[in-house]
Amino acid sequence: MPETIPPDSVGIVTPEMAVFDEPLHLECGKQLDSYQLIYETYGELNADRSNAVLICHALSGNHHVAGYHSMEDRKPGWWDSCIGPGKPIDTNRFYVVSLNNLGGCNGSTGPNTTNPATGKPYGPDFPVVTVSDWVASQARLADSLGIECWAAVIGGSLGGMQALQWSIQFPDRIRNALIIASTPKLTTQNIAFNEVARKAITSDPNFHDGRYYEHNTYPSKGLMLARMVGHITYLSDASMGEKFGRDLRNQAFNFGLLDVEFEIESYLHYQGERFSKNFDANTYLLMTRVLDYFDPARKHGGNLAAALKGAKCRFFVASFTTDWRFSPERSEELVNALLEAKKQVSYMEIDAPHGHDAFLIPTPRYMDVFSAYMNRIAEETKGAS
Amino acid sequence: MPETIPPDSVGIVTPEMAVFDEPLHLECGKQLDSYQLIYETYGELNADRSNAVLICHALSGNHHVAGYHSMEDRKPGWWDSCIGPGKPIDTNRFYVVSLNNLGGCNGSTGPNTTNPATGKPYGPDFPVVTVSDWVASQARLADSLGIECWAAVIGGSLGGMQALQWSIQFPDRIRNALIIASTPKLTTQNIAFNEVARKAITSDPNFHDGRYYEHNTYPSKGLMLARMVGHITYLSDASMGEKFGRDLRNQAFNFGLLDVEFEIESYLHYQGERFSKNFDANTYLLMTRVLDYFDPARKHGGNLAAALKGAKCRFFVASFTTDWRFSPERSEELVNALLEAKKQVSYMEIDAPHGHDAFLIPTPRYMDVFSAYMNRIAEETKGAS
């Protein structure tokens, strides 16, 4: 809880809800007849509506990107470090929009919301969505807000995939794509870790084939395991080592087969348990599938440059040295394809010890590069208005 | 099943059982009043008993290291690639001993064998053993075989920890320690992955606090998950990518939340299921704890060189470039401590694409280096006899 709102915070914010009644045709062949998206906005849309920025969230993210919902909030939104007055995404200059994606569990239509066809939660009947479906739904949100063209679409990790997809799917509606700690497709190892997470959830007897809502329960242990695996892959070996080392819970070993011995074990338990209480298991399954499926080159015989041919925006790509989930090589794969497709691209590999999580951490070099790029967009936007 | 036994195989082998009635005092403070160790031997012990080599197994290994138990065997022992006539561990020259460690599940006393105090399987009452306890039990096996001093103790991964511990615990009973793809202690990340595996097993409702034998069941899903996680860490990102890429099970995506989409998923399921049918869950818990606990420097304030001070043998240390479970840096940590302690050490980082599993794969450079070192031991042994 902040005693006072910091001067570089967007302050107290209130989510809004957008309702869509026109059917959304999905890549899986199904459609959603109607749906709602919860979103937040910070800053002011300028007169010519040219300063709007879309923030796309990653696996476990949501619409609450910056600021506080009340003075009782323990923490601000998940990317507060980068969004606010004077921050890289400067709300004095940009109108920032963030939403909870379709299939999410924080207010937008998803597995834990009511299926109008049955009056019960969708559960496993919620259609499998893709990054492309998300971008289509985000475009409708843009329409409803009167935004014809984003000054920038920005995201880290799975969020970066959405920014990339925007550049391909709506080349005339995006001026800059900022793709941070992301990849143009998952590796085999990425998919393998996702499958461990899914299997942990679906193996939990409380999963009930995804209809756990009707049993007044949820697969807490499976979700906890899924998060534990995920969490390990978000951190670097070195940063875990620095934080926890081989520190013990007690002075000496207990030598009990079922005892907690090391600090890292109780940290992972804590993270896993907390997450399992706040996140929907079906959404977790869905989000990992969205990650697995993303591969814009697939429709072009694996040729990513061909997939990017129609893109018109400028690209900002950033990776982090110790990120082994989406390593710098994956960003370079994208950068090389962008160069081959003769697109404008800025690329920076940032030296940071935090692994994949580095994209959320305001290390000075990262903030400087990010700010400089956003500043250029703001200057151009001012000129255009 | 081999149609004929290959000429470089040790052929058909038969396990033997050694029974020990003298109590073994364990590091955890408990003791085993009696226990048995299942083992195999290949080759002939020479007249002065100077050509004996001990092979130590890793997490899921056992005593069946080379050859076949019958002509119906589908596969030979787990390190057949390195052990046999003319192979790096040449059974024409060495007398090779391998055992299933205490706490294992392949015939030696462990959680799945009968506790004489209760007449039921030990289950979770089996005491937590350590690498040091194993080495003590292996020394008794050596006594029973009339082996005063090993020409070499050899192991990969957890097996390498045993070779290292031999050099410290019985400096006069080992002439060479071969420590391959191993580490002087687990990193935080290593422990974290082990904890995910343990939590998967203990969260399975069929675990019954480790007393699943009495319920005629076992935690198959938990053990499957544990193996899936483990398996990912044994392989390199690149080798998984080369083998499975993003290949689909079907021609196109199914878009079903619970469907298997990618080949890597069904491969992991297959590996996990097969393993869960053949391995004991309590042993898995125990083996991961043995790994976590190992840290010979701990008793010396973290000074590994001090821990190694009394060692008298020569050391052979090998690591593999793509091994991210026990990376070359971990082997270098050991090599540096050995140098600081003024020990004789040969070190080789081998370029191999297979990740941690590389220690089981007979890549030419690895075989050449391994053979050359073993050849020197054999030459010296011959001279001594």
CA distance A322 to A333: 17
CA distance to partner chain A, nearest, from residue B255 (Å): 6
Which residue in A189, A207, A265 has the most chain B C-beta atoms within 10 A of its own C-beta, making it the best mutation to test that interface? A189
Flag if B222 and A244 touch (Cβ within 8 Å). Answer: no
Residue of chain A with shortest Cα separation from B263 = A188
Residues of chain A with Cβ-Cβ distance to B229 below 8 Å are 196, 229
Q: Note whether B131 and B290 are within 8 A (CB).
A: yes
Q: Is the CB of residue A283 less than 8 Å away from at least one CB of chain B?
A: no
- CB-nearest to B295 from A29, A246, A256 is A246
Residues of chain A with Cβ-Cβ distance to B269 below 8 Å are 199
Q: pLDDT below 70 — which residues of chain A?
A: 1-2, 383-385
Q: Is the CB of residue B293 less than 8 Å away from at least one CB of chain A?
A: yes
> A359 by DSSP, 3-state: which?
helix
Classify residue A94 as exposed, middle or buried by CB count within 10 Å of its CB (0-12, 13-18, 19+). Answer: buried
Q: Which residues of B are catalytic?
A: 157, 323, 356
Q: Is the CB of residue B243 less than 8 Å away from at least one CB of chain A?
A: yes
Q: Is the CB of residue A128 less than 8 Å away from at least one CB of chain B?
A: yes
- CB-nearest to B187 from A203, A241, A293 is A241
Q: Is the CB of residue B232 less than 8 Å away from at least one CB of chain A?
A: yes
- CB-nearest to A225 from B128, B199, B285 is B199
What is the C-alpha radius of gyration for chain A, rounded to an integer number of angstroms?
21
Flag if B232 and A193 touch (Cβ within 8 Å). Answer: yes
CA distance A161 to A168: 11
Per-residue pLDDT of chain B (385 residues; tens, 9 = 90+): 567 889 999 999 999 999 999 999 999 999 999 999 999 999 999 999 999 999 999 999 999 999 999 999 989 999 999 999 999 999 999 999 999 999 999 999 999 999 999 999 999 999 999 999 999 999 999 999 999 999 999 999 999 999 999 999 999 999 999 999 999 999 999 999 999 999 999 999 999 999 999 999 999 999 999 999 999 999 999 999 999 999 999 989 999 888 999 999 999 999 999 999 999 999 999 999 999 999 999 999 999 999 999 999 999 999 999 999 999 999 999 999 999 999 999 999 999 999 999 999 999 999 999 999 999 999 998 755 4
- B35-52, pLDDT tens digit by residue? 999 999 999 999 999 999
Total length of chain B: 385
Instruction: Report the pLDDT value the prediction gives residue A3, as an integer from 0 to 100.
Output: 78
Three-state secondary structure string covering A47-59: CCCCCEEEEECCC
Phi, then psi, of A16 in degrees rounded to 5? -125, 165
- ipTM of the complex, rounded to two decimals: 0.95
Residue of chain A with shortest Cα separation from B299 = A252
Q: Is the CB of residue A206 less than 8 Å away from at least one CB of chain B?
A: no
- CB-nearest to B196 from A27, A210, A229 is A229
Q: Note whether A270 and A260 are within 8 A (CB).
A: no
CA distance to partner chain A, nearest, from residue B285 (Å): 7
Residue of chain A with shortest Cα separation from B294 = A246
Task: Quote the DSSP letter at residue A150.
Answer: B
Which residue in A28, A211, A223, A255 has the most chain B C-beta atoms within 10 A of its own C-beta, making it the best mutation to test that interface? A255
Q: What is the dihedral of CA B343, B155, B329, B375, to 10 degrees?
A: 60
Phi, then psi, of B194 in degrees rounded to 5? -60, -40
CA distance A207 to A211: 7
- The reply to whether the predicted model has a pTM over 0.90 is yes
Q: Is the CB of residue B220 less than 8 Å away from at least one CB of chain A?
A: no
Tokens representing A179 are 């793709």
Residues of chain A with Cβ-Cβ distance to B295 below 8 Å are 246
Flag if A246 and B185 touch (Cβ within 8 Å). Answer: yes
Flag if B269 and A199 touch (Cβ within 8 Å). Answer: yes
Instruction: Report the pLDDT value the prediction gives residue B277, as an integer from 0 to 100.
Output: 96
CA distance A168 to A307: 7
Q: Is B45 left (phi over 0), alpha (psi -120 to 50) or beta?
A: beta
Q: Note whether B11 and B67 are within 8 A (CB).
A: yes
| CB-CB neighbours of A378 under 10 Å | 20
Flag if B257 and A200 touch (Cβ within 8 Å). Answer: no
Flag if B199 and A128 touch (Cβ within 8 Å). Answer: no
Flag if A196 and B244 touch (Cβ within 8 Å). Answer: no
Strand ranges in chain A using DSSP code E only, listed in sequence order:
16-20, 24-25, 31-32, 35-42, 52-56, 83-84, 89-90, 95-99, 152-156, 176-180, 314-320, 345-350
> B272 by DSSP, 3-state: which?
helix
Question: Rounded to an integer, what is the distance from CA B98 to the centroid of its chain?
Answer: 10
Between positions 36 and 95 of B, the ones with CB within 8 A of A are: none
Q: How far is CA B206 from CA A221, B47, B163, B195, B218, in A?
A: 14, 52, 36, 18, 5
CA distance A281 to A284: 5
Residue of chain A with shortest Cα separation from B206 = A205
CA distance to partner chain B, nearest, from residue A121 (Å): 15
Instruction: Report the pLDDT value the prediction gives residue A1, as an integer from 0 to 100.
Output: 57
Q: Which residues of A are catalytic?
A: 157, 323, 356
Q: Is the CB of residue A229 less than 8 Å away from at least one CB of chain B?
A: yes
CA distance to partner chain B, nearest, from residue A55 (Å): 26
Flag if A199 and B225 touch (Cβ within 8 Å). Answer: yes
CA distance to partner chain B, nearest, from residue A160 (Å): 20
- B282-331, pLDDT tens digit by residue? 999 999 999 999 999 999 999 999 999 999 999 999 999 999 999 999 99
